[in-house]
């Protein structure tokens, strides 16, 4: 492919970190080494950096970032005032970096995603892509439960109208242009995997291998996963509301049919029977009603949160441009 961009880009790597004290030091060494190798090969600009976003960790994560940045100028750091979640951590990293960077790649702190794929990401960027998605070759490292839930989630998402690139997570490159566009999306409920494909731009895919977590445990608890799935669906699609209307119509029709048969039975002089069916139907329709109210309530609730326009995250401390541990005001 033809190279469109001539100058080696300033690359900022964004790393969301939540209680990662077991592995962060090791990961930072590997990332710093990788950045330096890319600089030596003149693939990226010498001003390239690694931005660690501490998502309100309660362990030594911030100390590790602080120490790392004192030893090695390649590191930048952001510290959230509390845990705002993975999506907000990468969002903050990307938005802060876009002032200095030509392109940003987001990657998890546990480095389960193969960092050697960075060369391919940059190559695609040089070819003129503004968005490059990392797509995993395998799911061998995930347990059966995670595999199944992930698969079900992507199937459901696609059926509900929120298109995502299959098997792509948040290992992704965005150019400055794409980042500036992303910054114009004001919504609090952001699901980057679904949102970024809707922005358009020239995009491509890079395949990478997935490895085991070297230490610590997955920070994505079941609760966080369910929340991500719900946010994904409710932020990208109103399909559930339409489905409810269809279900409502179906039950109205059913009721009509039952009503007509009841009248025919009565006209024929049959004794009124079918108490059980009656009660069962009442329960069914009552249940449907509750679910419906719940789903509508979910969307109303989301609209309420969006209407308040609260900040998506609050940065407590920053290590940026030589100054360390700056209080952000
Ligand atoms: N993470 C985060 N905030 C959270 C949960 C996770 O910033 O509330 C980060 C975590 O530190 C890691 C990345 O998100 O860098 C992915 O998390 P993890 O590896 O635990 O998820 P998994 O690989 O099991 O999906
Ligand atoms: Mg992981």
Q: What is the pLDDT of residue 323?
A: 58
Domain that holds residue 136: 11-218+311-327
Give whole-number Cα distances, 285 to 164, 187, 242, 297, 314, in Å: 34, 35, 18, 18, 44
163 and 263 housed in the same domain: no
Residue 110 Cβ contacting ligand 1 at under 6 Å: yes
Q: What is the pLDDT of residue 140?
A: 67
For position 45, which CATH number holds? 3.90.550.10
- Report which ligand 1 atom has the smallest distance to the Cα of 17: 11
* C-alpha–C-alpha distance, residues 108 and 102, integer Å: 20
Q: What is the pLDDT of residue 152?
A: 80
Q: What is the pLDDT of residue 296?
A: 86
- 3-state SS class at 202: coil
139 and 37 housed in the same domain: yes
* C-alpha–C-alpha distance, residues 101 and 318, integer Å: 17
30 and 165 housed in the same domain: yes
Residue 220: exposure state from Cβ atoms within 10 A (0-12, 13-18, ≥19) = middle
Domain count, the chain: 2
Prediction pTM value: 0.79
38 and 89 housed in the same domain: yes
Instruction: Judge whether 159 lies within some domain.
Output: yes
- Mean pLDDT in consecutive groups of 10 residues from the start of the chain, 329 residues: 82 95 92 93 92 94 92 92 93 94 94 90 94 84 74 79 78 94 89 88 90 76 81 80 82 80 79 69 80 85 85 91 56
Ligand nearest to the CA of 147: 1
265 and 211 housed in the same domain: no
Q: What is the pLDDT of residue 324?
A: 53
Q: Which of 60, 219, 226 to mutate to test the pocket of ligand 1 (most atoms within 8 A of CB)?
A: 219
């Amino acid at each position: 492919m033809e190279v469109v961009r001539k100058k080696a880009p300033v690359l900022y790597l964004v790393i969301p970190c939540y209680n990662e004290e077991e592995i962060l030091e090791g990961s930072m060494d590997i990332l710093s080494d990788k950045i330096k190798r890319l600089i030596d090969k003149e693939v990226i600009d010498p001003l390239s950096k690694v931005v660690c976003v501490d998502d309100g960790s309660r362990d030594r994560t911030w100390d590790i970032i602080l120490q790392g940045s004192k030893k090695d100028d390649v590191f930048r750091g952001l510290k959230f005032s509390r845990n705002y979640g993975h999506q907000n951590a990468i969002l903050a990293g990307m938005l802060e970096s876009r002032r200095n960077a030509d392109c940003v790649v987001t990657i998890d702190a546990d480095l389960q995603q193969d960092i050697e794929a960075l060369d391919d990401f940059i190559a695609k960027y040089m070819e003129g892509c503004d968005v490059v998605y990392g797509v995993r070759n395998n799911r061998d490292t995930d347990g059966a439960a995670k595999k199944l839930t992930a698969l079900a989630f992507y199937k459901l998402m696609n059926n509900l109208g929120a298109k995502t690139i299959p098997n792509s997570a948040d290992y992704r490159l965005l150019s400055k242009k794409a980042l500036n566009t992303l910054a114009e999306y004001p919504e609090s409920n952001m699901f980057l995997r679904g949102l970024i494909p809707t922005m358009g731009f020239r995009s491509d895919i890079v395949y990478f291998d997935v490895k085991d977590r070297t230490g610590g445990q997955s920070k994505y608890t079941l609760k966080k996963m369910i929340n991500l799935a719900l946010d994904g669906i409710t932020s990208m699609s109103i399909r559930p509301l339409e489905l409810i209307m269809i279900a409502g119509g179906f039950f109205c029709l059913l009721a009509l049919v039952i009503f007509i048969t009841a009248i025919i039975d009565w006209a024929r002089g049959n004794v009124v029977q079918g108490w059980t069916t009656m009660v069962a139907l009442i329960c069914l329709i009552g249940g449907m009603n509750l679910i419906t109210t719940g789903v509508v309530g979910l969307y109303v609730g989301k609209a309420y949160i969006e209407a308040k326009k609260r900040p998506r995250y609050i940065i407590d401390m920053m290590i940026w441009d030589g100054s360390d541990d700056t209080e952000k005001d």
